[in-house]
Structure 1
């Protein structure tokens, strides 16, 4: 649970993670290949 607002550094980290997740979901939807999406985005 987040009990307070993120500080500036953590906002940037969270936004980066959200953007990567969006990219991964878009890639999966477009490719319909979970293994390829997993291999492309895991470890980033």
Structure 2
């Protein structure tokens, strides 16, 4: 008998959902970007 699947909370990752009305209008369609891989950007101090 196969092992039961892991609990959903252990496999779901934080997800970023981006909807851009101006871009959707420009393209003539409804566009939604969804990503699990966006990372926060950190700026390094100027030298």
Q: Please indicate, yes or no, whether the TM-score normalized by the shorter chain is above 0.5.
A: no
Based on CA coordinates, which of the two structures has the bigger radius of gyration? 2
Q: Which has the higher contact order (CA 8 A, sep 6+)?
A: 2
Judging by fraction of residues, say which structure has more strand.
2
Q: TM-score, normalised by structure 1?
A: 0.21
Q: TM-score, normalised by structure 2?
A: 0.21
Judging by fraction of residues, say which structure has more helix.
1
